[in-house]
Amino acid sequence: MPPGSTSPREARPGWLTAPAPVPPEHYSAAPACRKAAAAWLDWLGTERRCSPHTLAAYSGDLARFFDFLTRHLGGVPDVAELAALRLADFRAYLAQRAGEGSAGSSSARALSVLRSFFRFLDRRGLAQNAALASVRSPKRPASLPKALSAEEAGEVLGGAEGADEAPWLGQRDLAIFTLLYGCGLRLAEALSLARREAPLAAGMMRIVGKGNKERVVPVLPAVADAVAAYVAACPYPLPADGPLFRGARGGPLNPRLVQRRMAEIRRLLRLPETATPHALRHSFATHLLAAGGDLRSIQELLGHASLSTTQRYTAIETAHLLAVYDKAHPRAKGG
């Protein structure tokens, strides 16, 4: 283990609340379908190590599909009816979602959920449906991570200390935002840190991210100083195995409070609505890339499973270069 690093947690900290999946027994489906859905969700959680948020989203999508089938078929579906579904049935489901205003990205995820579920049914010898493979996925809108400029990120960190309630709350918010921007952490990763894992000195820190995947990130002196200042100022006891970040009354800090604080800073600084806590993580990656960081290293620091996810940041940098060109080059306006 690198010097100054912390040990990874074996499981999600108990102080972090997570959405609950839709119980399969509530699905509008025959008992055999509900039993298969329960086994699939269990497989996703144990074998695929999906996060609670993913399980909640996937179970909701599957429940919605069964609701559709119940209306579409005129009764609760059983496993045999799942195997008999035609291409037109799946298209009707996507058409209904579009008619209800679902975004293309949301319907694309719902279709991905169905493919995962039906592959599971096939592997278990419960049902096989070849029609699903012919369904074209809805187009996802081309979206880029919304990063702040280096100046805007600095302004956010500066504004974090201006908490009205108590000075230590400002130091807490600064520590969190500095972890997001200085280490590229997700908000949930920062709030899952235990007191014994607090990076109080520059060095390396182990993080357990999505799917319980571990990664090691460097801790800059500015990050360590911000966290140490918060720990020293926090008026509540911080047991080694308890949450590092506390709310105003001493309980575990709710992520919504961090998002609300970011919204307050955003309004004061007149930043766009895209200036969220997660935007600080995007800014970490974008600014590293602009400074010459290579994609593979940035991928490891962010904990991305696929390099294609990290490659989105090259589009941001290209867009920035084009903006500079359009603004500064004498020939950019056709002159």
Please pick, among 109, 172, 281, 282, the residue that the annotation labels catalytic.
Answer: 281
Q: What number of CA atoms fall less than 13 Å from residue 80's CA on the CB side?
A: 0
Q: What number of CA atoms fall less than 13 Å from residue 279's CA on the CB side?
A: 21
Helices 167-183/150-160 angle, 10° precision: 150
Please pick, among 186, 215, 282, 287, the residue that the annotation labels catalytic.
Answer: 186
Picking from 229, 226, 208, 225, the residue whose alpha carbon sits closest to that of residue 217 is 208
278 is catalytic: yes
Please pick, among 119, 278, 312, 320, the residue that the annotation labels catalytic.
Answer: 278
53 is catalytic: no
* Complete DSSP assignment for 17-31: --PPPPPGGGSSS-H
333 is catalytic: no
CB 259 within 8 A of CB 277: yes
Within 8 A by CB and 6+ apart from 216, the residues are 2, 5, 204, 205, 206, 207
d(CA 12, CA 51): 9
210 is catalytic: yes
Please pick, among 35, 210, 312, 320, the residue that the annotation labels catalytic.
Answer: 210
Please pick, among 58, 181, 230, 313, the residue that the annotation labels catalytic.
Answer: 313
Which residues are known to be catalytic? 186, 210, 278, 281, 304, 313
